[in-house]
Amino acid sequence: MSNDELPQIERLILYPSVISAMEFLSPVAYQDTLAWIRNHFHFAYGQQIDWSHDPGAVTGKILELTEEKLQGLLKNYGVEASRRITIVWAYGDKAITLPLHLVAAHIKDIWLPALDDVFLFDPQDVWCVELYHEGNFSCGRFYS
């Protein structure tokens, strides 16, 4: 790891199970993930996803987002614990993939208070979880 790694990645690499499962996206793939987010979601104030189009969207406080709650939210979209999830740190210019069970187990390492906006999604699917830098999360789907 380089000296310019995100603090979230520095925390994640402390776990052997995460290191063995973590895949970094290339800079081009990172840019593709940003384009995917922009092409599927509209943003309201402060760069938060505008979920007004999705009556089933769920919001809450990240501090209350437990491993079980995150897995339960994504189970509503058919996401199994072994499925790889893309994690994008919007202002860190980094993205990785990890299986959902590791994302859920280490959600408090993936998002750090007041530091960054983080997006969790699978570009082959219709849902996204946003971890907003001010401490809120949201989860919903896009409609084409």
Q: Report the C-alpha gap between 82 and 68 in whole angstroms.
A: 14
Does the pLDDT of residue 116 top 90, yes or no? no
And the tokens for 29? 């793939």
Task: Supply the pLDDT for residue 46.
Answer: 66
Contact 120, 131 (CB under 8 A): yes
Does the pLDDT of residue 4 top 80, yes or no? no
Mean pLDDT for the stretch of residues 4-27? 93
Each domain of the chain, given as residue ranges in start order, spans: 7-141
Q: What is the pLDDT of residues 21-72, one digit of tens each?
A: 999 999 999 999 999 998 999 888 767 899 999 999 999 999 999 999 999 9
The mean pLDDT of the chain is 91
- Count of beta carbons in the 10 Å neighbourhood of residue 47: 12
| SS3 (DSSP) at 22 | coil
Does the pLDDT of residue 1 top 60, yes or no? no
Task: Supply the pLDDT for residue 113.
Answer: 82
Q: What is the pTM of this model?
A: 0.91
Q: Report the C-alpha gap between 126 and 130 in whole angstroms.
A: 13
Which contiguous run of DSSP H or E holds residue 8? Answer: helix 7-12
Task: Supply the pLDDT for residue 63.
Answer: 92
Mean pLDDT for the stretch of residues 101-119? 90
Contact 59, 86 (CB under 8 A): no
Strands across the sheet containing 136-141: 23-24, 94-99, 84-89, 118-121, 127-131, 136-141, 58-61
Q: Range with the lowest mean pLDDT among 10-14, 47-51, 73-77?
A: 47-51
Residues with Cβ within 8 Å of 1's Cβ and at least 6 positions away in sequence, in order, are 9, 10, 13
